[in-house]
Amino acid sequence: VIKREISRGSPTFQWVEGLFENTFLKRYTRDRKGEKVPEGLKVEEVDQVFNCGSWGEYAMRRKQVHAEMASAGAAWAGELRTDSCTKGEAAEWFRTDEYPGVNEHWLYHGTSLEGEAGITEGDFRLNLAGSNAGTLYGNGVYLAEAVSKSDEYTCPHGANGIRTILLCLSCLGRVNYNDEKRPDGDALASSCKKEGGFHSILGDREKIRGTYREIVVFDEDLIYPGYICRYTRVT
């Protein structure tokens, strides 16, 4: 595994800065556990992750998802906040014309210093899924289109208050859209198993509660942690 620092003046760093600015929403949820919502988030460092094993698994699973969608048909397909590029140049190295329509998006995952190392050097672990976020939509990996949502699940490391959010390439495939006030997490998780017909969940709490849309994936190979974003809260 290689982690290469992205220089501050590069188009990639500017793209990440733009994402943090454009997808920050000043909304409180109970997952903040009483903490105030910061005024913003300041990107301090960005590292690109080169993990050949994880990328190989992701690319193979993406190919399978393309085949599965061709036979089952599409479900929810829409724009997410991270799709817009407002600064710099969005990363394009992952794109391929071979597997169009697999619903690929960059999404956030907030974590700890230990989680940063474990995920980028190994993989997401479903046995730990929801340990810091709850499991409203089942026991999967929770991702966000709003950086302020993922910020809720981070913790500072070091005296300077640096926190970590992973920017993950996510293959959502057939998305099971849910806007129920009290979703059945077990049923939703089952819908993303082999015979369930879906690959991910989009829980629309923005529509129901005025908070955030959350995305849940139940297969670690559908997520590739491409960038480590270290940042501080602006208060």
pLDDT in tens, 53-82: 999 999 999 999 999 998 886 689 899 999
pLDDT at 117: 84
> Which residues of the chain have a pLDDT value below 50?
131
Q: For residues 224 and 166, is the Cβ–Cβ distance under 8 A?
A: no
The model carries a pTM of 0.94
pLDDT at 122: 76
Long-range CB contacts (within 8 A, 24+) of 55-59: 55/224, 57/123, 57/220, 57/221, 58/169, 58/171, 58/221, 58/222, 58/223, 58/224
DSSP letters spanning the chain: -EEEEPPTTSHHHHHHHHHHHHT------GGGTTPPPPSEEEEEEEEEEE-HHHHHHHHHHHHHHHHHHHHH---B----GGG---SS----TT--TTSTTS-EEEEEEEE-HHHHHHHHHT---GGGTTTTT--TT-SSEEEESSHHHHHTT---BTTTTBEEEEEEEEE--SEEEE--SS--HHHHHHHTSTTTS-SEEEEEHHHHHSS-EEEEES-GGGEEEEEEEEEEEE-
pLDDT at 24: 98
pLDDT at 74: 65
pLDDT at 195: 87
pLDDT at 22: 97
